Structure 1
Amino acid sequence: MTLAAIPSPPQGVWYLGPIPIRAYAMCIIAGIIVAVWLTRKRYAARGGNPELVLDAAIVAVPAGIIGGRIYHVITDNQKYFCETCDPIDALKITNGGLGIWGAVILGGLAVAAFFKFKKLPLAPFADAVAPGVILAQGIGRLGNWFNQELYGAETTVPWGLEIYYRVDDAGRFAPVTGTSTGEIMAVVHPTFLYELLWNVLIFALLLWADKRFKLGHGRVFALYVAGYTLGRFWIEQMRVDEATLVGGIRINTIVSAVVFIGAVIVFFLLKKGRETPEEVDPNYPETPTDGGEAEVASVASGKNESKKAGPIDGETTSTS
């Protein structure tokens, strides 16, 4: 028995009548809101129309969720396609299970198509969105805490995570949708917390590096990918949940290593410096006078020191 431990929530689902309120979904939504808010500030400071961020989010969010679920089902197919499995569970996204790789790939492709349609460069938006994305990922990891999933091996460290035995109304074991009986099944490494803290660290690193080196042309996004995969590589080693193995190695470990190397190479190959407001959006008349150099300081201080851009007549294309 440990002297101290982090308790898991007693449940991850609440009901308003017949309507389930799932903490996992709420965490994802909270992350999206924060990412959109931050990206609007950063993209406007770079010279882009902040209204496009909402439009891009409408395109990216559903594509990202679909892509994330597809990746999860493919890489953890043994959970959905076995003799005792119900394949329909693959569609139950609210039960947990989103692969970040699939979310970034499909969501990124959707946003790329959107910016191509708008005839605007993608790189400035990618650089603006990167810090918000990794912060949203960190917030989303709280959903794994509520679901009691993606944890590490048993441990006696003071910050170990208590995993409770949960049951449904009929007394059947229900680890995701049930309510805790108070019985502690195990005390494990809280890998969700490790990844959350790592994501916040990379978030701070991106803000600092963007301001210090005036990064642009997609280099902030490449740095985000490299930073996230570096952390995911070592955190993946601690997880004990079932996963698809390739040569005895978890597939997400392999993907993390490959993507990290690719991101580092791309970072150094991309053009140095930062785009001018005219390069970001030549059709947007009111742009920041500092060329986007003060967005990090303004966001950190809670004040937008760049000029606020207004909507363009005939150019606002919100599809919400």
Structure 2
Amino acid sequence: MFATMSSWYASIPSPGPEWQQIPLPFWPYRITTYALIILVGIVVAAIWTSRRLTKRGGEPGVVLDIILWAVPLGIIGARLYHVITHPGDYFYPGAELWKVVAIWDGGNAIFGSLIGGAIGAWIGCRWTGIRFWSFADVLAPALLLAQAIGRLGNYFNQELFGLPTNVPWGLQIDAGNKAIPVGLPDNTLFQPLFLYEIIWNVIGIVVILWLERKFKLRWGKTFAVYLIWYGLGRSYLESIRIDPSEFSILGIQSNVWAAFLAVVLGVVLFIVQTRRHPGLEPGVYVTGREWHKPDAEVDSDDTDSDDEDEGDDAATPNEPGAAKATSSLGS
């Protein structure tokens, strides 16, 4: 009993309901903390992605044209996936069906977001002339950062937590939380999955940037590493989640299968693109739709130093003799 109480006092407290909404000055409405954090993650990711794409020859601001497609479809995909895999939370006698679209209350699945966002990004890339895989590569580390920031929203919403635990960093959750199984003591601590994923994603950013720089990853191979890394981490986190998806195959929850699928897709993508495109990209634009940066050379490698890329054999559309694209969308 004493050990349990000691663990409770040494644990991670969860924000109360008063922290879940922020009043807007001079406005009779409030914004949910979850929505604000998600918005911050999107903005930060967009800025970093834009910087990386511009360094590789993209027109400044072109990322905005792409995310105007990717973000809305990503949000729709995230919500649809969550509702489909957790139907019991929304469809029951007396349920308020309008809550199916209440994305501000939380409940947005990352795998659905990836599917919807990928469709939106593909449309945006077609619209702007950017190679899809070039965009995916520059997005990869920024996407992990956005996901890490977004997990703070889960923390404020007291959602996405794991099984009961006695570890000192266990997470306190209000006793009335609907995800807590009936019968558990009020002072039960839970695995802080939001914190685990933040740490995993931050480490992943470092790993991806290191591999990208060391091996000059292009043609979607950086994004392939992202899929592998995130899929591996998420497969474990989903396996210890207290409110797993309601569908399972062979005793394994659908979200775990989705994580496994991300790993497989990442491995296949890396192998296929390595065989099809052993060299560097000729540029981030589809052939014939290039944007030429006026009176300046394009830095073809995503580094902070202007002289780190000397000797890099990457050709760009601005350079004489630049190689032509092998596919209209970068394959």
Same fold at TM > 0.5: yes
1:266 alignment partner AA: L
Structure ranking higher on relative contact order (CA contacts 8 Å, 6+ apart): 1
| 1:236 Cα offset (Å) | 0.8
CA RMSD of aligned residues (A): 2.4
Q: 2:255 maps to what in 1?
A: 252
- CA–CA separation in structure 1 for the residues paired with 2:111 and 2:163: 24
Q: Could you tell me which runs of 5 or more consecutive residues in structure 1 were left unpaired when the two chains were aligned.
A: 166-172, 177-182, 300-320
Q: Name the counterpart of 1:107.
A: 117
1:298/1:106 CA distance change after superposition, 3 Å: farther
- Per residue, is there more strand in 1 or in 2? 1
Is residue 278 of structure 2 the alignment partner of residue 272 of structure 1?
yes
Deviation at 1:279, TM superposition (A): 5.1
Match of 1:194 among 193, 196, 199: 196
Q: Distance in 1 between matches of 2:86 and 2:117?
A: 20
State how many pairs are aligned.
285
Q: Against the structure 1 CA distance between its residues 118 and 55, is the aligned structure 2 distance closer, same or farther, given a 3 Å change threshold?
A: closer
Q: 1:55 aligns with which of 65, 75, 91?
A: 65
Displacement of 1:85 after TM fit? 2.7
Out of 6-15 and 40-49, give the one that drifted further: 6-15
Residue 141 of structure 1 aligns to a residue in which SS? helix
Query: Cα–Cα, structure 1 residues 121 and 28, in superposed 2: closer, same or farther, change >3 Å?
Result: same
TM-score (norm 1): 0.82
Residues in 1 aligned to 2:111 and 2:74: alpha-carbon distance in whole angstroms: 9
The equivalent residue for 1:296 is 303
Amino acid at match of 1:286: K
Cα displacement string for residues 39-97 of structure 1 (whole angstroms, at most 9, x for unaligned residues) = 11110111111311111111211111111111111111111112243222111110101
Q: 2:23 aligns with which of 10, 15, 18?
A: 15
Secondary structure of the structure 1 residue equivalent to 2:147: helix
Give the whole-Å Cα distance in 1 for the aligned partners of 2:57 and 2:77. Answer: 30
CA distance in 2, matches of 1:132, 1:154: 32
Residue equivalent to 1:215: 217
Question: CA offsets per residue over residues 248-303 of structure 1, 9 Å max, x none?
Answer: 3211001111221121111111023331337567522128746422x23459xxxx
Change (3 A) 1:132 1:59: same
Percent of aligned pairs sharing the same letter = 38
Q: Which residue of 1 aligns with 2:317?
A: none
User: Which of residues 261, 264, 269 is equivalent to 2:264?
Assistant: 261
Q: 2:11 aligns with which of 5, 14, 20?
A: 5
The aligned counterpart of 2:90 is 80
